[in-house]
Amino acid sequence: MTQMRAVDAMALILEKEGITQAFGVPGAAINPFYSALKGHGGFNHVLARHVEAASHMAEGFTRAAPGNIGLCIGTSGPGGTDMVTGLYSAWADSIPILCVTGQAPIAKLDKEDFQAVDIVSIAAPVTKWAVMLGAAAQLPGTLRKACQLMREGRKGPVLIDLPIDVQMTEIDFDIDLYEPAEIAKPAPSAAQIDRLVDLINQSERPVIVAGGGIINATAEAELLAFADARRIPVIPTLMGWGCIPDDHDLMAGMVGLQTSHRCGNATLLRADLVIGIGNRWANRHTGDLETYTRGRKFVHVDVEATQIGRIFEPTLGIVSDAKQALVQFVAALPRITQRFDRWSAECLHRKHHMLRKTDFEQVPMKPQRIYQAMNEAFGPDTRYVSTIGLSQIAGGQFLKVFKPRHWINCGQAGPLGWTLPAALGVSAACPDEVVVGVCGDYDFQFLIEELAVGAQHGLGVVIILLNNAYLGLIRQAQKGFDMDFQVSLAFDNQNTPAGGDGVPQAYGVDHAKVIEGMGCEVIRVLEPQHLNQGLIDAQARAKAQRVPVVVECICERVTNIAMGQSIAAINEFEPIDCRDGDLTAETFWVPKMEKIDA
């Protein structure tokens, strides 16, 4: 045993747990922990400009690769409260991040000391565990439990609050005696597998709804093996997008009210058995439940027992890790007597035919045209990052994703400002890959100061900024109230000459001046014919200069993106592209373009 400060033991434990990438903002109450990280030397640290942004960076880092856990560090008081949005985001999407906060000395906690706040109570509803370290000797056990909880079951964030005096207290510790906890992974029972086999054999039109739990469990290979063996179409959720390549013939499109494909909604409505694996039946996926569930049987596989039956009662519920379940599904394949070749061909036919139009050429540009250019200019290894708004919804409708963890999206919480810092976190995890953040101008402005972080730390991300000077999604939602109120970002900028650099003065913020002032680069695109070259140049500049490069696309101010209240009644707004597909020699059931018969 060796005597050392509690924070020095903490650094050793974190390294053994594989948690060595930190994002944070130092302060007086957390400086002892920072001194341990500096003295140990095995840690990378990115200095954020805002602690909320640091928490989003940690989340992006975690999402980028299997086994990653981002570490977010803040001081006492506002250092912790600024993290709460990031904790909520990670908790809602089952993403493990470790948040560490400084705290006033234990003796001062009930005396309204400077920046002393009960962060444990504040963070408890949006973490798997929030705990204050009350005694230095408890540190090894507390940290071991925290790392286990983050990784086990439904993954999620943990917060550890460190009073400054506890940080500096010496304990006896030997890192060679420390072992990370084993992670339990529940699996299906034999009876549950028997029932699943029966349900599939009795069905005619099954589909798999593949959720983010498949990516969390790195079960993509098992998913494809199971689906392909019996030709069962796969519908990824927004969180599961990328678990099957978009160009795979069994990828049947996404389902939902917003981030969905027309073919996906039509296929779900035609299905008679839905096998959900690692998904939540989120409301933006299902829409009204009566339409979604009518005439269909459901299997729900989830690692968290309380998720089963939370939204609706399935025909069969299985509490299991996604990978453990799929391994057993594959083992049961010899007992599944059905192959669904004709059904999967029908789904592929819809995928080829039921398309939305993107080849608009007007100026100012339609956002659909920008996503078309992104598909053309960015390769299959591109990692996309997005959070909320019409820019994210259109991304879900029009982008192409080919690999797991290449669509990194804040699914449930959707905080404005998430895209830029999360993209920086992804870039920290994947420094040699093309990382592309996709955001609207309001999302971009929320945490715009984090551009300087990318410039300082050599994080060469590409940000696609769709600028229409509007809160576009909220403007579209306000149509139901017959108003357009407090959603315009436009104003006459006295410092931007009318028509200067081709940007209308009335669009307001001159992003180019801000971007360049932060040490980053900007490419401004006004016309569709310049999009592809602008995107290609941005990739090259980001790689060469190792700074964020923003491609500002000046869009028409008002564009309505397809969405609705039911997956059987999506308002399309724009013309539909009904091109011929590859399977015109066959006759399949294809819903009418104007209305899907549920």
Q: Alpha helix locations (H) across 105-219? A: 119-123, 139-151, 164-168, 190-202, 212-216
Please state whether beta strands 563-566 and 569-571 pair in parallel, antiparallel, or not at all (unpaired): antiparallel
Given 12, 14, 30, 51, the catalytic residue = 51
The CA radius of gyration of the chain, in Å to the nearest whole number, is: 25
Burial of 386 (0-12, 13-18, 19+ CB in 10 A): buried
Q: Is 299 helix (H, G, I), strand (E, B) or coil?
A: strand
Strands 129-132 and 158-163: parallel
**What DSSP line would sit under 353-411, residue for residue?**
HSEE------SSBPHHHHHHHHHHHS-TT-EEEE-SSHHHHHHHHH----STTSEEE--
Cβ(217)–Cβ(323) below 8 Å: yes
- Percent helix, strand, coil in the chain, to 5, is 40, 20, 40
Query: Angle at CA 352, nearest 5°, toward 237 and 402?
Result: 45
Residues 102/51, Cβ–Cβ less than 8 Å = no
Amino acid letter, 415: P
Active site residue 250: no
**Sheet strand arrangement including 383-386:** 407-409, 383-386, 435-440, 462-467, 549-554, 521-525
| Sign of CA pseudo-dihedral 508, 513, 517, 522 | positive
| Given the residues 269, 416, 547, 549, the one annotated as active site | 416
- CA distances to 327, 442, 508, 510 from 494, in Å: 63, 20, 9, 10
Which amino acid, 122?
Answer: I
Q: Any catalytic annotation for residue 416?
A: yes
84 is annotated as an active-site residue: no
Q: Rounded to an integer, what distance in angstroms lies between the CA atom of residue 152 and that of residue 136?
A: 25
Active-site pick, 25, 84, 223, 235: 25
Residues 6+ apart with CB under 8 A from 7: 32, 33, 35, 36, 162, 167, 168
Helix (H) or strand (E) holding 465, with range, is: strand 462-467
**For this structure, is 303 an active site residue?**
no
Among the listed residues 12, 84, 471, 550, the single catalytic one is 471
Instruction: State the residue for tokens 């081709």.
Output: 502
Reported as type and span, the H/E element at residue 286 is helix 283-286
Number of Cβ within a 10 Å radius of residue 82:
20
| Catalytic, out of 109, 311, 363, 474 | 474
Question: What is the distance of C-alpha 469 from the center of its chain?
Answer: 25
474 is catalytic: yes
Containing 16, the helix (H) or strand (E) segment is helix 6-16
Counting every residue, how long is the chain?
598
**Which residues are part of the catalytic machinery?**
25, 51, 416, 471, 474
